[in-house]
Structures are given as C-alpha cells and as structure tokens.
C-alpha cells in the first residue's frame, strides 16, 4: 500500500507532526469556473473546454504518468483550486496531491497565499474539506465515542492506537475533555501490522471502551473475530495523510495536532 521509496520522496507530506505523536515509523522500526485542458502548461492560458472535460483529460494524463512511473496510485477525484492551472487530486490509499494542468508535476505540502494581513493555507483548507466529508460519512457505530458532559460544544475525531504511549497520555484526559464539552470520537489506526490484531479485538469486543482501557493498561484483549472497520479506518487515515497517533481533527476536518492537553485543545477548537 505504499509508493516505492523514490516515489515516496516525491509524495511525502511536507511537514511532520507539529505536536507530539507516536509515528508509524516508530511502530515499524484560478477561479472555480475556469476550464483548462490537461495539455495546457502550468503557466499557460486557460482553454474554453468544459470543466468536466478538462478534469477527465487531466485524470487520464496523470493516471498514465503514474502508471509509466510505476506508481500504484488510483485517482479518485479532481477539483479546481484557487491557483491558476493547479488541481487538487484525491488518491486511493494515499494523501491528496496538487497537480499541474499538464499532468507533469505533482507535489504535497503547505501552499500559502499571501497578500492579506494573515496568511492563507490553501492546501490545508482543501484537505480539511475532504476530511470533513469523510468524517461525516463515518457510521458512529464503527467508532468509540466518549460523549461530552452536558451539551457538546465540540466534536473531535482522533486516530488512535492502544499501543501508543502518547495515545495513553491523551486518553488519561478523557474525563477532563468531556467535562469541557468536547466529544471524542476514536478512529482505529494501528501503527504497524503487529498492532492490527489488538485493535481488531478491541473493535470486536462487546464493550469497546472497557477493552480499550484494558489494552492501554497493558492487559491483552481477547475477543472473537468479527467483521470490523479497523482496516477501513486505517485506510481512511492513509488517505488523509495520517502518519502517527494520536492524530486529532476537528469536525470541520482541520488537523489540530498530536497529543494536546485539554486546555490547549479547547483553545484551538475555539479559534476561528
């Protein structure tokens, strides 16, 4: 499920987690109505072809270039960005990339728009919009949910692994977070193949919360096998760029950080 090493150097996420998290490596030791063709250069003028045709041609060209380079990436969707001749490309099993209109260049990382008093994170907003839709499509029955005490002020989605020490530290603050009006929704994200059985056992347990607590305490969890969403949730994390746990997102799909103490978490959630 990974690009070759050379390809990964092209597609790897530009910035590491800004906040403390258990990494997978540790576990494993211009405007929206403009239309351009897939053959237009990155600095060329837009054509008059319908937008859907432009997207289709870019998809075909980019997919062919992926295949030629030996990159096993399937394009799921292409949409316009505010940057002329640049498109946001969603991939299956990999984080999204920005691609030039000619399908020759792709990159990941933080694209920033200047000109205002505050900088604007273009790629971050594009990714957050994708994340928000994916989170909204999750079935609550497939998650481990810790409701807020009283009326929920915020909902967060947290990719977690019961073997991760920083996930343990985050989990220790659960009562405090709930008291602050934060509903926590856990998504399974085993950091390595060796951790899948435990996470699947937790998700197959009749009482997932108790099983998660037990695993965090270092006590093995035994559960009958069942159809479970752990692999699908892991794939979701790969699709949106998760590379360590905990990975905390707000309901709008914005990445907030790794391990965050409750007061700091609430401050970030209250920021507009």
| Residue 37: band (very low, low, confident or very high) from pLDDT cuts 50, 70, 90 | very low
Q: What distance in Å separates the CA atoms of residue 26 and residue 22, rounded to the nearest whole number?
A: 7
Question: Residue 203: what are its φ and ψ, rounded to 5°?
Answer: -70, -20
Q: What distance in Å separates the CA atoms of residue 41 and residue 169, rounded to the nearest whole number?
A: 49
DSSP code at position 141: G
Query: What CATH number was assigned to the domain covering residues 31-122?
Result: 3.10.450.70
Q: Does 79 qualify as catalytic in the annotation?
A: no
The two structure tokens encoding residue 13: 């996420």
Q: Does 22 qualify as catalytic in the annotation?
A: no
Say which residues have a Cβ less than 8 Å from residue 213's Cβ, sequence separation at least 6: none
pLDDT at position 6: 31
Q: Does 213 qualify as catalytic in the annotation?
A: no
Exposure of 11 in the CB half-sphere (CA atoms within 13 A): 25
Share of the chain above pLDDT 90, in %: 64
Q: Is 45 exposed, middle or buried (0-12, 13-18, 19+ CB in 10 A)?
A: exposed
Write out the E strands in the chain. 22-23, 74-80, 86-92, 97-100, 106-107, 112-113, 120-121, 144-146, 154-160, 182-188, 244-245, 247-250, 255-257
Whether residue 242 is predicted with pLDDT greater than 60 in this model: the reply is yes
pTM (global) more than 0.85: no
- The position carrying tokens 């979701």 is 236
Query: Of 22, 164, 185, 204, which is the active-site residue?
Result: 164
For the chain, residues classed under CATH 3.10.450.70 are 31-122
Any idea what the Cα angle at residue 130 is, between residues 124 and 132, rounded to 5°? 100
| Residue 45: band (very low, low, confident or very high) from pLDDT cuts 50, 70, 90 | very low
For the chain, residues classed under CATH 3.40.30.10 are 137-270
pLDDT at position 13: 36
Q: Does 167 qualify as catalytic in the annotation?
A: yes
- The mean pLDDT of the chain is 85
Lowest mean pLDDT among 18-32, 93-107, 171-185, 214-228: 18-32
What average pLDDT does this structure show over 170-176?
Answer: 98
Q: What distance in Å separates the CA atoms of residue 17 and residue 256, rounded to the nearest whole number?
A: 10
| Residue 266: band (very low, low, confident or very high) from pLDDT cuts 50, 70, 90 | very high
Higher pLDDT, 109 or 158: 158
Query: Of 130, 161, 204, 208, which is the active-site residue?
Result: 161
| Residue 33: band (very low, low, confident or very high) from pLDDT cuts 50, 70, 90 | very low
Query: Of 22, 57, 130, 167, which is the active-site residue?
Result: 167
Exposure of 159 in the CB half-sphere (CA atoms within 13 A): 32
**Is domain 137-270 classified as CATH 3.40.50.720?**
no
Query: Of 22, 130, 185, 191, which is the active-site residue?
Result: 191
Are 241 and 187 within 8 A, CB to CB? Answer: no
């Amino acid at each position: 499920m990974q690009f070759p090493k050379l390809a990964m150097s092209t597609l790897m996420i530009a910035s590491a987690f800004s906040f403390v998290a258990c990494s997978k490596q540790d576990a494993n030791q211009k405007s929206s109505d403009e239309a351009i063709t897939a053959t237009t250069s990155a600095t060329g003028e837009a054509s008059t072809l319908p937008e859907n045709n432009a997207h289709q041609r870019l998809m075909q060209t980019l997919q062919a270039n992926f295949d030629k380079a030996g990159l096993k990436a399937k394009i799921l969707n292409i949409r316009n960005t505010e940057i002329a001749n640049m498109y946001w490309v969603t991939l299956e099993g990999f984080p999204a990339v920005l691609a030039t209109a000619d399908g020759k260049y792709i990159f990941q990382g933080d694209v920033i728009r200047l000109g205002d008093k505050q900088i604007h994170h273009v790629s971050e907003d594009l990714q957050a919009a994708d994340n928000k839709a994916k989170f909204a499509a999750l079935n609550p029955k497939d998650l481990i949910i810790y409701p807020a005490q009283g009326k929920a002020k915020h909902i967060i989605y947290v990719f977690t692994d019961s073997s991760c020490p920083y996930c343990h530290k985050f989990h220790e603050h659960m009562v405090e977070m709930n008291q602050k009006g934060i509903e926590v929704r856990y998504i399974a994200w085993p950091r390595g193949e060796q951790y899948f059985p435990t996470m699947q056992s937790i998700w197959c347990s009749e009482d997932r919360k108790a099983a998660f607590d037990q695993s965090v305490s270092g006590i093995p969890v035994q559960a009958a096998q069942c159809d479970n969403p752990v692999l699908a949730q892991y794939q979701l994390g790969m699709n949106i760029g998760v590379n360590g746990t905990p990975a905390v997102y707000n309901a709008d799909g914005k990445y907030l950080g790794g391990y965050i103490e409750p007061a700091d978490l609430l401050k970030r959630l209250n920021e507009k």
